[in-house]
Every structure is written in C-alpha cells, then in structure tokens.
Amino acid sequence: MQLLLALKQWFRRTRPEDYATVRRLYHSIKYTSRGGYGIRAALHAASFVHLGIRVLTFPIRLVLARGQIMPFRRAFKNPRGEALCDPGAPRKIVMLVISEVWRDPRVEREARALAAAGFEVEILFPDYFSHIYSGTFASWGERISFSPLPMESYKFIFGFPYLFGRSYLEAAAKRKPYAFHCHDLNTALVGLAAARITGAYCVCDFHEWYSENVSWEPVKGEFVPHHFLKKRMFRWAEKLALKHATAVITVCDSIARELTRMSQRHRQILVVKNTPRLPAMIQLPQSPGLRESLSIDANMFLILYSGGTGPSRFLEPVIEALSLAPSAVLVIRGPGIDVFGAHYLRIASAHGVQHRVFCLPPVPSQEVIPSSAGADAGIWTLANLCQNFAYALPNKIFEYLAAGLPILAADYPEVRGIVDKYEAGVCFDPNKPESIAAAINCMAQDPEKFRVLRKNAAAALADLRSVDEWDKLVQLYRDLANNVPRAELQRND
C-alpha cells in the first residue's frame, strides 16, 4: 500500500513537461515504426495500472482533500453582488486565470475591451511559466494590471479534487472588486467562493467544455478522455457554476447549447467568439513575410499552422499528408515547439518530407496576425478524442481570416459552419492523410479556386462583426454596474 501511495504522489507532483522522455519514446514507436507492438502493449498496461491506483486511492484522497475543500462551501450559494467597493471608485474587475497569460489571446482581448470601456481590470494568475520563458509581460494599456501569484497556487489542478485552490482563493478574497471574471472551470469555484466572501458578482467564462475534455496520460505520453471520476467531478462543478454564477459566457454556439441543456432551468449562455478586433489588427506593423524569412520558393504552397503544439494537436497526419502534396510546405509555429519540434521533424524525415517542414518559436499574441504574412493558407486540426474537441472554434480560425488566409480545417461542425458559409476554405478528415492531401491539392493546384477562397477569407471576418463580439461582453458588465436583475442577464444573448 505504501508503494501505491508513493506512486500516486509521484504522478500528482510530476508535470506534463517532465514526461518528455517517455512521450518521445511512445510517439516515435507510434508514428515511425511498424514494430514495437510489445512496447506499446506494455505502455497501455502501465496506463491501466496508473488509473487503477487513482481509483483505489480515491477514498483516501477524498479524506485528505477535506481541508482543501471546506473553505469553498460559500461557492454553493449565489454571489450576493453587493459590490462592496467604494461606489465612487472605478468599477474594478478581477480576472482569475490559469494559463500563460501573455500567450492567451482571449484573456487579452477581453481585458482590452473592458479597459477601453472604462473598467479597471486586474489579472490575478499563478506565475508558473516566467521561470521557463525569459519574456516579460507586454503592456496591455491603461487600466490593466497584472498580479502574479506564487507558482504553488496553481498545482491544485493536477490532483484530486482538481478545482479547489485554497491559496488562490485566499489571494482572490483579499481583493474588493465588483466582479470576478473566471476564465475556465479551473477558476470557477475560486471565483464563486471569493464573490460570496467579498459581496462581488461572479462571471464564469468557459473557454472549453471541461467535463467533455481530455486528461494527460503520463505513461503513454498522450491525452485521453477524462476517466469517469474526473468527468463526474467536472460535470458537478459545471452545474454548480451554471446554477450560482451571476452570468455564464462561452466561445461557441455548440457548447452554449450543451451547457443550457445541463442547467436546471435551461439557462441561456452568452456566446462571445474569439474574434480579433479589426481596428487594432490594422494598426499593427507588418512583419517580414514567412516565405522570405525562410527562403521558400515562390512556386511552393505555404501552409501555416499557428498555435499550441503537442500530442493533442494531431499534426502528425498533416505532416504525413505532405508526401501526397508535393507542392506544399508546412510551417509549424507555436508554444511547445522547443519540446515537440524534434518529434515533428522525425515524422517528416520518416515520410521523406523533412525539407518541407519548418518549426518556428511562438510570437506574442498581438503579432500573430501580421507575422502570418507570406503564407498561402492556414491549417487547423484536432484528434476526435472528445466532444469538446468536436465543438472547437479556436482563436486561430479567426486569426487566419484576419490575415486573409483561406482555411484548411478538420471537419468539425463549428469550423465547417464558417468555412461553408463564407466559402473560405476546405475541410478534411483529420484521421486520413489522403483526405488532408486532397484538401491541400484542391487549393494548391487550382489557382482560380484559391483566388476565390482567399478573397472570401479576407471578407469573412468583417462580416462576422468581430468588434460586436467584445461589445457583448462590455454590455454585460455595464448591465451589472447598473444592477440589471440576474434573470435579465441570462436573457442577454
């Protein structure tokens, strides 16, 4: 039993980046070898042992977590919304975030929109990444401030019960805002409890459908759907937030419909899509083109992937598809490329396309659009691992459109809706390199079709009325400032 508990503690302490060796071994076997079945079977067996340990130790972990959970009893009631801050002071919003803030475009766009409307915005976040990256926070303008917390304040998300960050709550409860804005479910209970303590409002902003998402499987080195205990925990927390939050917003219509079905009173969810604000985008200086900086031949079709990298991004079939699309070049740019770039290049070498795959480091979120200059198309894909992935409507789709790039996209409903409505791209089956290659060749080998797609892409974002998306968020907070009843906020869609 002591051995099992020791293993449990090791798995809880270890972060995903610490599994790089196992991850590289597993993916090298999975994608570049027809053999290795015995090793794969051993890794799968080990992952079941890991899950078994977590299930068997569940009662013990529940008892040990009691002290962590007790301060959150206040989250089980509606925020009072008494706005205890000085009525004459500027309306202050405290954003609760667990992410690499300077790379999170949704957080930045929301903060900028609210600050431009006259609100004071404080971003309260666990600083778990400044020791890894040497970059500093860019200024997001007046009335926006950053308040980093010790790295330890985010570790609660890695172990049961996943959502109860006691030190994070203590820090949040010291603030006196008139509203807490909780980015994603991992901050929702912190925000609900802090709002109840301080008399503030609480707005929950679901970037993802958490209960239908994936977990990191450390033994296999990949993401898998949540095991049933974790899924149940997240589903309970989602229902709690839907019941008690002052307002709930999310990123797309599909997730909004599912959250509405989950809520006891069929609560309406405000949808705010991740669209760039066009005026801000136009003022940014243009960066040197990708084609020129990488010395890519003018006759090659340059495809840009911009975004996070790693096992869940499912870029391996895209790289394999290049062997069937001889005129295409792929540029992969985003966070994690220092860890996963070598893996992608190994996949490219295995399929004889290593000279047509380039891996670049990420750029700050405000530079993503102008630095896309020179690409011919933007690509997005995901493995169909869970319902949350199937409903994805990521930032990069709108960023590609803002850069005037037609879209090559995995065939999922939210993205297909945009591609079909505006005729701004081509969809493919993300599991089949042949389908991906056919979509690429459809653009690369048909100049007239490509010209039409590119023209439509340039016009699509303007029709999506990107400024209006963030105006919806501003209006929500203005309604809170004017004490609009909660029932009316629920109808504000």
Closest by Cα among 265, 353, 366 to 315: 353
Residues of the chain with pLDDT under 70: 1-90, 130-138, 278-288, 484-493
* Residue 452 vs residues 86, 133, 380, 414, 460: alpha-carbon distances, Å: 55, 41, 20, 22, 12
Backbone angles phi, psi at 296, to 5 degrees: -90, 135
CATH topology match: 74-275+467-490 vs 287-463: yes
Give the length of the chain: 493
Residue 112: per-residue pLDDT: 94
**Gap between the Cα atoms of 297 and 312, Å rounded:** 31
243 burial level (CB within 10 Å; 0-12, 13-18, 19+): middle
pTM of the predicted protein model:
0.81
Residue 488: per-residue pLDDT: 59
The hierarchical CATH code for the domain 74-275+467-490 is: 3.40.50.2000
User: In the CATH scheme, what architecture does the domain 287-463 have?
Assistant: 3-Layer(aba) Sandwich (3.40)
Residue 467: per-residue pLDDT: 72
Residue 34: per-residue pLDDT: 47
Residue 414: per-residue pLDDT: 95
Residue 344: per-residue pLDDT: 97
CA contacts within 13 A on the Cβ side of 1: 3
**Gap between the Cα atoms of 275 and 398, Å rounded:** 5
Backbone angles phi, psi at 251, to 5 degrees: -100, -15
Assess contact for 72 and 164: CB atoms under 8 A: yes
Domain boundaries, the chain: 74-275+467-490, 287-463
Per-residue pLDDT tens over the stretch 173-228? 999 999 999 999 999 999 999 999 999 999 999 999 999 999 987 777 778 899 88
Residue 3: per-residue pLDDT: 43
